[in-house]
Amino acid sequence: LRLSAWTRRTRPKREQRAMERDPCPHRILDDLGGAFAMGAIGGTVWHSVAGARNSPSGERLAGSLYAVRARAPVLGGNFAVWGGLFSTFDCALVAMRGKEDPWNAIVSGAATGYVLAARGGWRAASRSAAVGGVLLAMIEGLNHFLLRLAPQAPPPSMPPPQAPAAAYAPPAGALGVAARQQLVNEPVLSGATADASDVLMQDKW
């Protein structure tokens, strides 16, 4: 148990980050919800300001609320579609390649961009795939750079093996030690010998 805890503490940061992520079937739903929430919150902030600026004086609050109701869910849905497709491609690559590395994210970003722009033709889809791949490559490169700059704690040293506790030996002049040693060293007497020794002791007294 002590060795397993030590190996968990000394794993690389990238491996710990990969292990902390949710498993693939649940990762897709998690990214869907997270992307929708991020898009909805960002859309609320953006369209509330834009709706207030584009509304006439005296109706800015009503215009802001109307813009938020009309546009914020749409932006959240667009983010959710992008996050869901990205996680689906990422999980598919993990299942096919059997490992998680930055190439999965880069290829997933390119594939997501291609699928989202497929209705505009192969030229537009190719441009979108290139943008998605380059964007994810920049994100992964920045993440790797920040991980290398982060200070790494030295691995904890294994505690030395503890020697078995030595048997306790009482000091030579301790009280009662001589009597106990005498009892241990004396042979066990039979019944007749014990009676004879009792008689001799009585005669001495």
| More confidently predicted of 147 and 123 | 123
> Can you tell me which residue has the tokens 């106990």?
180
Q: Encode 60-78: b = buried (16+ Cβ within 10 Å), e = exposed.
A: eeebbeebbeebbeebbee
Sign of the four-CA dihedral 190, 193, 196, 201: negative
> Can you tell me which residue has the tokens 């690389």?
12
Q: What percent of the chain has pLDDT over 90?
A: 37
Q: What is the pTM of this model?
A: 0.60
Amino acid at 9: R
Mean pLDDT, the chain, rounded, equals 75
Q: State the greatest distance between any 2 C-alpha atoms of the chain, in Å, as a whole number.
A: 131
> Per residue in 84-117, pLDDT tens?
999 999 999 988 988 888 898 999 999 999 999 9
> Per residue in 145-161, pLDDT tens?
888 887 766 666 666 66
